[in-house]
Chain A
């Protein structure tokens, strides 16, 4: 794409320098030009997409509220060893009294109280109540040396080791506590990482029904279902004469191009208790009373498999299209049974398609939110639901970010695997 002037310029250079140097220079200019073309999109993606995600990851361990609202208390608590005395010394109470009354006056206490409440239920009311009472006391008679007594009079909880451990822990500017919480762990008074007691595991249960296991399990099941349903269809499409396969391809592509919400709506209409499928089953006397097909795991699996199936069929199809039929025929002519010929000769060649489709479906399934939210029950929600929930309702951005961070790591791991197995350059659409 060099202009006429540039070409002239190159000749001059060639006159002065060796051909090798001129070529290297031209090559470098070529590289820079190619890179400059990518720059606008790179800048845009960096601002509109990467910066938000990086900031979100920062949210997941950044923890400024307590250390900024109660800086002196946090500093004083640093010397207190929770494994020793059950409560900190009198000076800490005095410092907290000063800071909590100031926070109550400038109303910054609300945020701090909410933040502490994430770690330990009941902290919000304790903090606001204490703030109110202490600021009244400060206006009253001289209290030096009697703060601990006063605090304990406001609430017995101030003699509780756990309350102080919570404040001490929440006072770190950077904390792993959101990640611990996301995985249902916490730090005990000794600073060890232990699993949350079952009663405190709000949404995220450890063990087999944990949201993480559930997310992985639903995604894996959907992927397997897509392979089982997608492989035969892809095989049929790849082996039919073109005029039939093009016609049948429409049946795959139309759902692919149809709005996700339209398809979800359709499944709600088909699966609901007063819906089409129940009608048909009742009508044919297959069932005696209407069965629950939606707002449970079955509905989620059916709808997600339906939505993701084209993402499986298309990559397998494009791989199968390039498998020469002569190999299978050769196997047959050498005496293999149809099953052996398929399993030992054809199937291994189509594995690349299953890998590509499977990883793609799995990646997409991991992050599903809308479909489980609309056709699933409360115990079918995946991680994405809890990220949205903590962002919107409990406003615990740190926890939402930590959940997002773990999900993102999982997805990126599969993405890297995808790149190794399939290659990002080979990603095809439609």
Chain B
């Protein structure tokens, strides 16, 4: 019985894909022959399969996080919120809450540093007369390109040589133990801010800042009252990139954080290494929700940016 259902489901998917392609067929120019038409349908079915490949794994784990039994198979025997309970109030919740706290602290500070430094640098970089611009840009973007392991291991060696380790730092002040990870994540986040803000500054009308200066505003005032509002969408999307980069990063954390310092990705990494518990799927589902929120925020920003530049909204 269940088998028939699955086959029926697959069949329905196929019918929907073919129907959608057939609907598109009407828009084809009349000179397209029957071979062209069948290729057209075939092409859409292939694309559909690839899109399913992209989204499927994420969709598969969301229902499983509500499974009443700790197995990862369909059909699920029952619906339950117990894994979410585990995460929010259960026995293990303390560990997870600590991980959330660490992740949020690191991500927020790293984002602030990356956004501030990145935005200012991007304003300088978009000056057409800056000498060695390509070289500087290449240098500032390199944290994104250099393999994470090299960055992490290099920082681990360097920071332990100069006494910049979590243990030594927390002897100075206990709140400093996350500083190495924060600095590392800030460095990893800056390229995103530089890229997005530079992109917003393309076609930036320099006469606006000159107008501001001619009206008597000094450099600082011009920057905050004229430049910042205009590049704000780029700044925010760069900041979101920096935030998610830090929030998702595990290699640097593995090397630079203390042995007992866990962040959410590090917890998940440890969890997958041993035995995946359904609690991890609950956390994963919450993280997917977070990315949906971020994605929505970015899309709204993009539209606002296009409106402000007088383009037609997509």
Q: How far is the CA of A120 from the CA of B265 in the complex (A)?
A: 38
One of B40-48, B86-94, B167-175 contacting the partner: B40-48
Residues of A with C-beta under 8 A to B251 = 369-370, 388
Q: How far is the CA of A280 from the CA of B210 in the complex (A)?
A: 66
Contact residues, B35-78 vs A (CB, 8 A): 36, 39, 43-44, 46-47, 50-51, 53-58, 60-61, 64, 71-74
- Is chain B's binding surface mostly helix, strand, loop or mixed? helix
Residues of B with C-beta under 8 A to A260 = 248, 250, 265
Taking a contact as CB atoms under 8 Å apart, the answer to whether A27 and B129 are in contact is yes
* Contact code string A47-85 (vs B, CB < 8 Å = 1, else 0): 011111101100100000000000000000000000000
Q: How far is the CA of A27 from the CA of B143 in the complex (A)?
A: 31
Q: Is A267 an interface residue (CB 8 A)?
A: yes
Taking the closest CB of chain B, its distance from the CB of A251, in whole angstroms, is 5
Q: Is B1 an interface residue (CB 8 A)?
A: no
Q: Is B16 an interface residue (CB 8 A)?
A: no
* Max chain B C-beta neighbours (<10 A), residue from A42, A267, A310, A425: A425
Contact residues, B217-259 vs A (CB, 8 A): 218-219, 222-223, 237, 241, 244, 247-248, 250-251, 254-255
Taking the closest CB of chain A, its distance from the CB of B211, in whole angstroms, is 11
Q: Is A139 an interface residue (CB 8 A)?
A: no
Q: Is A143 an interface residue (CB 8 A)?
A: no
Taking a contact as CB atoms under 8 Å apart, the answer to whether B57 and A38 are in contact is no
Taking a contact as CB atoms under 8 Å apart, the answer to whether B213 and A259 are in contact is no
Taking a contact as CB atoms under 8 Å apart, the answer to whether B199 and A428 are in contact is yes
Q: Is A122 an interface residue (CB 8 A)?
A: no
Contact with A274, one of B72, B157, B281 (Cβ below 8 angstroms):
B72
Taking a contact as CB atoms under 8 Å apart, the answer to whether A306 and B269 are in contact is no
Residues of A with C-beta under 8 A to B147 = 366-369, 384, 407-408, 411
Q: Is B137 an interface residue (CB 8 A)?
A: yes
Taking a contact as CB atoms under 8 Å apart, the answer to whether B187 and A40 are in contact is no
Residues of B with C-beta under 8 A to A265 = 61, 268, 272, 276, 280-281, 284
Q: Is B150 an interface residue (CB 8 A)?
A: yes
Taking a contact as CB atoms under 8 Å apart, the answer to whether B60 and A276 are in contact is yes
Taking a contact as CB atoms under 8 Å apart, the answer to whether B273 and A374 are in contact is yes
Write the chain B residue with the least CB distance to A245.
Answer: B314
Q: Is A89 an interface residue (CB 8 A)?
A: no
Residues of B with C-beta under 8 A to A38 = 120-121, 124-125, 130, 136, 140
Q: Is B102 an interface residue (CB 8 A)?
A: no
Q: How far is the CA of A50 from the CA of B154 in the complex (A)?
A: 9
Q: Is B141 an interface residue (CB 8 A)?
A: yes
Q: Is B156 an interface residue (CB 8 A)?
A: yes
Contact with A37, one of B50, B123, B161 (Cβ below 8 angstroms):
B123
Q: How far is the CA of A310 from the CA of B58 in the complex (A)?
A: 14
Q: Is A291 an interface residue (CB 8 A)?
A: no
Contact residues, A246-283 vs B (CB, 8 A): 246, 248, 250-255, 257-270, 272, 274-276, 279-280, 283
Q: Number of A residues whose C-beta is below 8 Å from B?
A: 95
Contact with B138, one of A49, A400, A424 (Cβ below 8 angstroms):
A424
* Max chain B C-beta neighbours (<10 A), residue from A36, A259, A274, A276: A259
With known contacts A27-B129, A266-B57, A266-B60, A284–B272 Cβ distance under 8 A: no
Taking a contact as CB atoms under 8 Å apart, the answer to whether B57 and A263 are in contact is yes
Taking a contact as CB atoms under 8 Å apart, the answer to whether A338 and B36 are in contact is yes
Taking a contact as CB atoms under 8 Å apart, the answer to whether B272 and A264 are in contact is yes
Residues of B with C-beta under 8 A to A424 = 134, 137-138, 141
Q: How far is the CA of A54 from the CA of B57 in the complex (A)?
A: 40
Q: Is B183 an interface residue (CB 8 A)?
A: yes
Residues of A with C-beta under 8 A to B142 = 49, 415
* Max chain B C-beta neighbours (<10 A), residue from A246, A260, A366, A368: A260
B interface residues, Cβ below 8 angstroms from A: 2-3, 6-7, 31-32, 36, 39, 43-44, 46-47, 50-51, 53-58, 60-61, 64, 71-74, 113, 117-118, 120-121, 123-125, 127, 129-131, 134, 136-143, 145-159, 161, 183-184, 186-187, 190, 192, 194-196, 198-199, 209-210, 212-213, 216, 218-219, 222-223, 237, 241, 244, 247-248, 250-251, 254-255, 265, 268-269, 272-273, 276, 280-281, 284, 287-288, 291-292, 294-295, 298, 314
Instruction: Add 14 more A-B contacts to A52-B154, A338-B32, A391-B153 (CB < 8 A).
Output: A35-B131, A41-B140, A56-B153, A251-B55, A259-B291, A261-B265, A266-B58, A274-B72, A275-B73, A310-B54, A404-B149, A408-B146, A425-B198, A429-B196
Task: Please name 20 pairs of A and B residues whose Cβ atoms are closer than 8 Å in the assembled complex, sorted by A.
Answer: A33-B127, A34-B129, A38-B130, A41-B120, A42-B140, A52-B159, A53-B151, A55-B157, A236-B44, A251-B55, A262-B287, A263-B57, A267-B57, A269-B276, A369-B251, A384-B149, A388-B254, A408-B146, A429-B196, A430-B241
